[in-house]
């Protein structure tokens, strides 16, 4: 019989064990995105970006044809990483871009977390390529989008069948925190949730305002 231990499972993410790659969160890509509305997409992408920045996650920001076609990265993401360069590509598959791969190797972590547009092209490409090269891959499903719900869902199924692990934006934030008693990141986590966490964030605002609630006590 297994013996239970009060310790996190090895498949859970922590801030120092993965590289987050945020891909093609750009105006031109979002115009045709129909699987998620633009407000939710921007909100979820911002939540992921601010969580990663706050917890010090190694993060790569990459765009495709920024100046000639697709436009700049969402301002919410750029604001979370002030001064960080955007690695601009010509390839639809981020994993075929030499500059991105050089940065992945420089960071040197075996887990890759992906979010971006579109799920069936610019997320499937690096997900399947990284898996093929022995990396563990996680995909933040609600911080991705595609030209239709069908396109997004089939892409997610294809990646999961290949071994990728799906998750959500709020799940990503809370998995990095994981224990409300971690005082050093408590205000960071609840602050991000209050700003970008939708109804959950409103609940935190209400609880703290009405009766001074604190999850860690």
- Asked if pLDDT for residue 124 goes beyond 60, the answer is yes
- The answer to whether the beta carbons of residues 64 and 90 sit under 8 Å apart is yes
- pTM of the predicted structure, to 2 decimals: 0.94
Cβ neighbour number for residue 111 with a 10 Å cutoff: 17
What pLDDT is stored for residue 193 in this prediction? 94
Q: How far apart are CA 116 and CA 87, in angstroms?
A: 14
> Tell me: the pLDDT tens digits for 32-48?
999 999 999 999 999 99
Q: Please, where in the chain does CATH 3.40.50.850 lie?
A: 19-178
Cβ neighbour number for residue 213 with a 10 Å cutoff: 12
> Tell me: the pLDDT tens digits for 150-192?
999 999 999 999 999 999 999 999 999 999 999 999 999 999 9
Mode of pairing for the β-strands spanning 87-89 and 58-64: parallel
Average pLDDT estimate for 100-113: 98
Average pLDDT estimate for 195-202: 90
Average pLDDT estimate for 61-75: 86
Task: Give the CATH architecture of domain 19-178.
Answer: 3-Layer(aba) Sandwich (3.40)
């Amino acid at each position: 019989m297994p013996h239970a231990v009060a310790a996190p499972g090895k498949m859970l993410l922590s801030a120092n064990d993965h590289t987050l790659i945020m891909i093609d969160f750009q105006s031109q890509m979002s115009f045709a995105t129909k699987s998620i509305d633009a407000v939710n997409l921007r909100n979820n992408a911002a939540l992921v970006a601010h969580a990663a920045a706050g917890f010090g996650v190694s993060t790569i920001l990459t765009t495709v044809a920024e100046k000639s076609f697709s436009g700049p990265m969402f301002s919410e993401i750029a604001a979370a990483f002030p001064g960080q360069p955007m690695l601009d590509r010509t390839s639809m598959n981020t994993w075929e871009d030499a500059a991105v791969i050089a940065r992945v190797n420089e960071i040197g972590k075996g887990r890759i977390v992906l979010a971006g547009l579109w799920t069936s092209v610019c997320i499937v490409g690096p997900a399947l390529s990284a898996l093929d090269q022995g990396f563990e891959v996680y995909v933040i499903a609600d911080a991705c989008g595609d030209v239709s719900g069908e396109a997004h869902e089939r892409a997610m199924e294809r990646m999961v069948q290949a071994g990728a692990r799906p998750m959500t934006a709020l799940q990503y934030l809370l998995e990095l925190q994981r224990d409300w008693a971690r005082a050093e990141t408590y205000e960071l986590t609840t602050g991000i949730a209050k700003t970008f966490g939708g109804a959950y964030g409103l609940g935190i605002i209400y609880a703290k305002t009405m009766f001074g609630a604190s999850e860690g006590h």
